Amino acid sequence: METDSGRPVTVVIADDHPVYRQGLTRGFQLSGQIDVVAECADGESALQAVREFGPQVAVLDYRLPSMDGIAVIHAMTRDGLPTRALLLTATTDSAVVYQAVEEGAYGYLGKDAPRTRIVEAVLKVARGGHVISEDASGGLAAEIRMRADRDTPVLSERERQVLRGFAEGKSIPQVAAELYLGASTVKTHTQRLYEKLGVSDRAAAVAEAMRRRLLE
């Protein structure tokens, strides 16, 4: 199914594995219903491509260099970009699924899904529908139940790494150097960390994390 105008759905793909990325592109092209406007190997270039081309759907891997898929989705939502995100990843961790949906993802599928299933998901997301794989939906339900029983924010792996750096007395530039990330990327993770903990500086973040037993 194409868009209401009869034109193919426009898509940006972001995956750091070129063979898988190219396979997705070929599958979308063969469907005759999806037009890939850009292929990206990292999160920052994916976000730039979304801003430049304004595709209907961004198909993102979770584990991307520079910015992970959820950080890209967060930036898209924050900036009010109309592109809808489909996270396509091998990660089935319930906390990641929950965070992806919380940040605004319209879909969450495993990378082992058949190409026809992925094509169907892209078309559904382009129409404003939501798609979550059976495995991911089970984990999502469990995470929702667990969160309902306790007041503990779900932190991403990067947010936990940043938090540990702050607990060790490191500054944002020092954390960035340790994690081999740009300072701007660490600042984005820091802001999200502050929002989740309800704080406004590093010392308060560490204190609140200790109160909530988020630091080992």
Please tell me the distance from the alpha carbon of residue 19 to that of residue 201, in angstroms, as a whole number: 42
Which helix (H) or strand (E) is 132 found in, with range?
strand 131-132
pLDDT at 2: 47
**What are 171-180's pLDDT values in tens digits?**
999 999 999 9
Yes or no: say if 162 and 189 are a contact pair by the CB < 8 Å rule.
yes
Domains of the chain: 9-148 (3.40.50.2300), 157-212 (1.10.10.10)
**For residue 150, pLDDT beyond 70:** no
Per-residue pLDDT averaged across 35-58, rounded?
97
Q: What average pLDDT does the structure give for the chain? A: 86
Give the side-chain half-sphere CA count within 13 A for 139.
19
CA proximity to 123, closest of 25, 8, 43: 8
pLDDT at 5: 56
Band of residue 205 on the pLDDT scale cut at 50, 70, 90: confident
